[in-house]
Amino acid sequence: MKRDTPYAGSRRDLFRTVGAGIVATGLSTLPTNLSAQGAPQDGLMPPKERPLPPSERVGYAIVGLGEYGTQQIIPSFAECGKSRLAAVVSGTPEKAQRIAREYGVPQAAIYDYKTMERLKDNPDVQVIYVILPNALHLEYTVRAARIGKHVLCEKPMATSVKDAETMIHECAKAGRKLMIGYRAQYEPYNLKSIELARGGTLGKLKSIVADHGRTLNPAEPRDIWRAKKALAGGGSLMDIGIYSLNACRYLTGEEPVSLQATQYSTPGDPRFAEVEETIHFMLRFPSGVLANCTASYGWQETKRYQVFGDKMALELDPATDYYEHRLTLTDKQGRKDIQVDKGNQFARMLDHFSDCVKNNKTPKTPGEEGLRDLKLMLAIYEAAKTGRTLRV
């Protein structure tokens, strides 16, 4: 069985759909009031649509054939109904040839970083999906927009506010759409958690705890650039703390008003010469919700959050895995598992953007969403450096 990234902690071949709608399983003896709240609810999952024929699907060029692009995104086109892989852009010709062969991309649709502008003349490609090291997102987004293509760009959107603003500006100037690949916002367990948190099931929201950790392994190509500030922009916060931060924002539907932070890197560990190992940050939201978040490159496989209300607590653990999720609700009487029709979050995200492109809609996670997180992450670094509470 193929292993995904260490951070994924799950396998594609374990992926399966577990029935339609939401099913409250009988794992606990929770009272009927909770059962009722956790019961199947219509309307969360979009109705199954007929897949479009290939000629009507939105064509994507993937820029950067790294771990995430080749292990998660490219295979997920098979589960899309509105999107298809139409081209690849890579600096590694053998890899580009292999991927093109495996996924039926024509020879003429293989590009490198110098020839990328030729995509302008490829009518099969409407979207360029930038899956490169963070600091390169600016250049490739701007180049894509300037040749008239819509852009899907990975998180973190950029490494500076100026870069992110330029990306938004250039796409707007070219009349092209820009979306950031916040896959969790298309993932059914996270969508159910948002519904429960914002819909009142938990009572008045009081606190959120969100943690993300993995160990940085410099033996892996994907972690070499992540240890370099110039390419990554930062450490565990930029890479995985962004999941904790984004979750607090989508679970509350609010923007934080102030924040505090502290960070620590093991002295002498060469992995953390340029980027931080561990960072803790606290956010205060206008409604009074307090969020405690952590991110670390020094501990294993953590990707979870808990939301505490005055009636009930919600836990999603794992929350931001590629394929595994476990949602539980707890109240005075006990704990209950909630199961949700899984769906493939990558395919859902791709099809959402394709729908926006085809029907001229604004994406749910546009460039502005990436810019908000980026400004907050830079403020978190500032708070950690100065030890001050920052109003944001």
In the set 57, 82, 143, 183, which binds ligand NDP (CB under 6 A)?
Answer: 183
Binding mask 2-21 vs ligand NDP (x if CB under 6 A, - otherwise)?
Answer: --------------------
Q: Is there a contact between 88 and 110 (Cβ–Cβ < 8 Å)?
A: yes
Q: Dig out the tokens for 392 from the structure.
A: 């944001």
Catalytic residue among 82, 149, 155, 336: 155
Is residue 206 part of the annotated active site? The answer reads no
Catalytic residue among 7, 243, 250, 305: 243
Q: Is there a contact between 303 and 326 (Cβ–Cβ < 8 Å)?
A: no
In the set 64, 241, 256, 367, which binds ligand NDP (CB under 6 A)?
Answer: 64
Task: Kindly give, in sequence order, each residue whose CB lies less than 8 Å from that of residue 102, ignoring residues fewer than 6 positions away.
Answer: none
Position 383 contacts ligand NDP (CB under 6 A): no
Which of 24-52 are b and which e, b meaning 16 or more Cβ less than 10 Å from the residue's Cβ?
A: beeebebeeebeebbeeeeeebeeeeeeb
Position 115 contacts ligand NDP (CB under 6 A): no
Binding mask 135-164 vs ligand NDP (x if CB under 6 A, - otherwise)?
Answer: -x-----------------xx---------
Quick count: other Cβ atoms within 10 Å of Cβ 60? Answer: 28
Q: Which is nearer to ligand NDP, 279 or 312 (CB)?
A: 279
Restricting to residues 193-232, which ones interact with ligand NDP according to CB under 6 A?
221-222, 225
Q: Considering the complex, what minimum distance in angstroms separates the CB of residue 28 from ligand NDP?
A: 31
Residue nearest to ligand NDP (CB): 66
Applying CB under 6 A, which part among 42-50, 52-60, 127-135, 352-360 lies near ligand NDP? 127-135
Is residue 243 part of the annotated active site? The answer reads yes
Restricting to residues 232-261, which ones interact with ligand NDP according to CB under 6 A?
239
Q: Which is nearer to ligand NDP, 64 or 213 (CB)?
A: 64
Quick count: other Cβ atoms within 10 Å of Cβ 388? Answer: 12
Q: Considering the complex, what minimum distance in angstroms separates the CB of residue 313 from ligand NDP?
A: 26
Q: Which is nearer to ligand NDP, 37 or 134 (CB)?
A: 134
Task: Kindly give, in sequence order, each residue whose CB lies less than 8 Å from that of residue 111, ignoring residues fewer than 6 positions away.
Answer: 61, 87, 88, 89, 90, 118, 119
Task: Kindly give, in sequence order, each residue whose CB lies less than 8 Å from that of residue 161, ignoring residues fewer than 6 positions away.
Answer: 371, 374, 375, 378
Q: Is there a contact between 312 and 203 (Cβ–Cβ < 8 Å)?
A: yes
Q: Which residues pair with 63 in a beta bridge?
A: 89, 130
In the set 9, 38, 59, 133, which binds ligand NDP (CB under 6 A)?
Answer: 133
**Nearest-angstrom CA–CA distance, 265 and 114:** 38
Helix ranges restricted to H, the chain: 32-38, 67-68, 74-76, 93-103, 137-146, 161-173, 188-198, 221-224, 229-232, 236, 242-252, 345-359, 367-386
**Nearest-angstrom CA–CA distance, 250 and 180:** 15
Position 363 contacts ligand NDP (CB under 6 A): no
In the set 31, 46, 54, 91, which binds ligand NDP (CB under 6 A)?
Answer: 91
In the set 37, 76, 83, 90, which binds ligand NDP (CB under 6 A)?
Answer: 90
Q: Dig out the tokens for 205 from the structure.
A: 């929201």
- Tell me the catalytic residues: 155, 243
Residues that bind ligand NDP (CB under 6 A): 64-69, 90-92, 95, 131-134, 136, 154-155, 181, 183, 221-222, 225, 239
